[in-house]
Structure 1
Amino acid sequence: MASPGSAPEAELSAYRLRRERELNSLYTTARSLTALGEVDEVLRSIVRHAHELIGCDFAYLSLLDEEGHLIVRASAGTISPEFSSARLPPGLGLGGRVIESRAPYWVSNYRAAEALPHDSAFDLLVPREGLMALLGVPLLVGDEAIGALFAADRTERPFEKDEVALFSAFAGHAAVALNNARLYEQTRSSLERLKDAYRTIEDQVATMERAAAVHESLTHVVLTGGGPGDIAQLLVEHLEGTVTVLDRDDRIIAARSPGAPGAYAGAALDPALREEARTTGRCATARRADGAHVSVVAVGAGGGHFGFLALARGHAPDPADVRMLERSAQILGLLVLMRDARVEAEERVRGELLMELMSPAPLHPAQRDRALARGVDVDHLDTLVVAECPGRTASDVVRQLKPLSARWSGLAGEYLGRATMLLRAEDPDAAARALHQELRRALGAPSLVAADRITAAERARSFTLAQRCLKVMRALGDEDRGAGTRRYSMYALVFDPDRADDLDRFLDDELGTLLAYDRRRSTDLVATAAAYFAQAGNLSRTARALHVHLNTLLKRLDRIGTLLGEDWREPESALRLQVALRLHGLRAVVDGEAPGSAG
């Protein structure tokens, strides 16, 4: 039997294997580029690693000929010889859609995809190969589509967003490698034909070798777990200028200069230049007022925008420098994509750990070890917090709690539809106030936070107390506050299920006669008494609040006196009755009953 923690561990293991496939494919493609191999060799390498990367039944790559036909040039995993040399006329099939749109496109069942214009010759090959689900992404060199890369399965299924994004990022990388291999072949042919142009060709080869060396260095950064700062420093060393990396919110996350590696010597990026880079997907260059040339490339992968990469220096970049910047932006996009996937997996595991801790079952040692690996000592999680924000879902609130949980060495997630957090705190009330301030600032709206000290590892009980305490806070008019449940201990009879019998006895002693009378006669004496005390005994205001005539009110008050005794408005009796009425109303809110019910 699998342990409770096996599913998350399997998921993390699968994620690590997928990441390893990504990096291995990236490294192998880079080696093909560095070796300046033959085009056919690069084509075979691309489909082989694409097949491994996406984990599909088979993969193939088609290139456009001079007449616009898509011709299969390489495949991996195919079984039909005819399919390995298939031709698709312009504008037909899924390949035609990918070339025309220059964007990824997929179908879960190619044969049933009526929205695609089918080619009869190609459709004859589909059943022989068993093709069913098909994903295609364009191979782009600048704005030009030179072909398409396909992943296919022999069973019907959808392609997830992450698969499409990853396959698109790989296709962009593959297009660079293929284009460089083509350039190398063209250069070698020119060298053979034009002996008198040897010096020029030698310079071109040197430029390509420099670009290949940089690309291999970039790949090494990825393989060794480097980040934007490492890539920025590498570009500074090769391009001799100030390099800046901005995230999707235009915040600087890395900046390097030749004179001071940790300093930012550039200026704010021109919005028009950023927009051009983002719109075209190419490097955009402009000259600043101080004479420096600024080159900007948008960082993205799979159609997502992750920020910008900028180079500032005294002279404009040459074509090789532009390619280097664009290639670096692709690598940065892949890094962000992998980082986001890693963060998402980590957050999912932390949420699952919280669910396991809330379970009454004993914690498995493996679960305890997984928590310790994330800096969480489950034996010291002594406080439970429940939070809510009107107009926001529990998922929205959890999204803000998760980064806070790491600072508190705790866990955050959604439990029974509530934003919940387990943490370690000396004072639950102080913790609730601090978390309330953080949440209010992050959400930009009033919020409520209740914290309860966990005793004897009864986390489920603390959850019940905290979430019921929130209802009491709201019923008392608190709409923007953080507090511990002890601060509302005078209302504990209402929100503590273990004291429900005490509350029942108290309410029965003080209100039982009125409640029974209301049930039998369909009257509303309980509400009348509550309104009377709420209006400080003022008869006119009480009548207006109840929307009844003054004579009607007087008759009701006389009836209350008859049932409770004429001293019901005396200080001692009135105090007990007011407390009972208040607790009765609060319990109706907490339990979701009508305030006048017997409860």
Structure 2
Amino acid sequence: MSSIDARSPASPDLVTYRLRRERELSSLYATARSLTALGEIDAVLDSIVREAHELVGTDFTYLSLLGDDGELTVTASQGTISPAFRAAHIPSGTGVGGRVIATGAAAWVSNYLATRDVLHDETFDDLVTPEGMVALLGVPLLVRGEVIGVLFAADRTERPFENDEVALLSAFADHAAVALNNARLYAESRSALRELQDAYATIEQQVAVMERAQSVHESLTRVVLTGGGAQEIAQLLVEHLHGAVTVFDRSGAVVATCTHGPDVAALTVPRPSPDAVEQARQSGRWATTTDRTGVYNSAATVQAGDTHLGVLLLTRSYEPAAGDIRTLERAAQIMGLLILKETAVAEAEERVSGELLTELLLAAGPIGPGLRSRAQTRGVDVGALDVLVVAESDTRGAAEVGRRLHAMSHEWSGVAGEHLGHATMLLSATDAPQAARTIHARLKRELGSPVRVVAERVADERWGAAHLLAVRCAALMQTLGVSDRGATTGDFAMFALLFDSERRDDLDRFLDTSLTSLVDHDARRSTALVPTLTAYFKHAGHLRRTADDLHVHLNTLVKRLDRVDSILGDDWRSPDRALQLHVALRLHELRSAPS
């Protein structure tokens, strides 16, 4: 028998085994190549369990990744039926997965719930029964010798796992671990790239904002240097910020406003938001609030040290960016410089005006040509200054009142300032009483408090004498308790000469001695003896004209005078008593007259 005849034919089982192994290896390498083509982590995870399920042929497969706390979390599955199982958590050191992580090698059990070779977790075991899991094989996902997760293959019937099955799933897991790690690196690279792109975009935006802010700052500075004002600043801001920009002075009055774009077509001139302004003033910087219509109000205070000079208000239908707020703050700083510059110029003008006023009031004789010429250069015709006004406030200083008079002196072709502690103005007016009332009303509005204004007609350029008389009349008004009135010296001049305003107690004593009994009688009996005597003296004792003025019958007037006789005595009509009583009644009338 030849050696060839001596050879036995191949075993059918061995041929089948070899063919199955070839198919398995071919499928293994095909699936491994398909994994390398994937980039997204979720896609890789899903592909791993799907390919493993087809490769090994178990009832279901699932993959659990290892967390930082050592816990395994199911992240992908194929063939599972329980939603709860597909999101299961396996505590560290428990189950087949715990053994795989501890040893770094494959492990299996033929009946999971029955085995005592692994540590069980009650929560996970409660999920095993609904899923029907019995036999379980786990192989590690290794990256550079470190376990990052476990790939499981499970059957719902009890059985052992053959070495070939374990080797095949382990080989697949090695390829899967590489694909999964590559996907992670790919994801990290994409994330880093996005971060770099975002950072670059942010840098570009910041550069653009800085360039725009620099441009705005240069433009704002140019406004100040070229003599511009609040309106120019508002116009410049809306060109860059859009919306509406409103400039308010320290009293809250609008001094400039400007709008831009269809976004603000329906907006009216806004008032400063009390909340925004108060928050900005407290912080010393800015604040943004929204009203019930969704409009954003951003207020930046204009300050010099602790002095509040005004408010810049940006009104828009959308929220301002940080760069917009910085631009608004910078504009507020420039606005503060502009106000300080204007204030310095105004103070210089006030000093010059005050010096001219002082020279005119102290002039002892005819005004020389030099003084007339200096006045003329300021637009003041000395010869036309025929009214002098003195203004006083119990709540504001003479310097502040004087500044207000100076601000309005140009409207009266006059000159104003502070002289000997009194706010004073020389002006040209045909109607001195009307001038006094007009100036009083305006000062009261601007100061926001009561003010006394006294006007005196000046003759022959005798401004010094007019000033002295006006000051004495203002002092008498204060002594009488008159704090808020515009009048002429004609109402008070005679009494100002009679009484020293420094001796208020004497004046009060004089009025009490002369009129207290009559005033008290009117208060107790609801009579009108004081008005009756006032009208009586006004008409020089003429009974008919007095009765007509009081709108009473002549008999009523006579009865009232009889009552006066019983209170004051029969001698009140004597020249000395009558003069004293007449003066007291006139002072009482001046004290009680409405503003």
Q: TM-score, normalised by structure 2?
A: 0.45
State the structure with more CA Rg. Answer: 2
- Relative contact order, CA 8 A, sep 6+: which one is greater? 1
Q: TM-score, normalised by structure 1?
A: 0.45
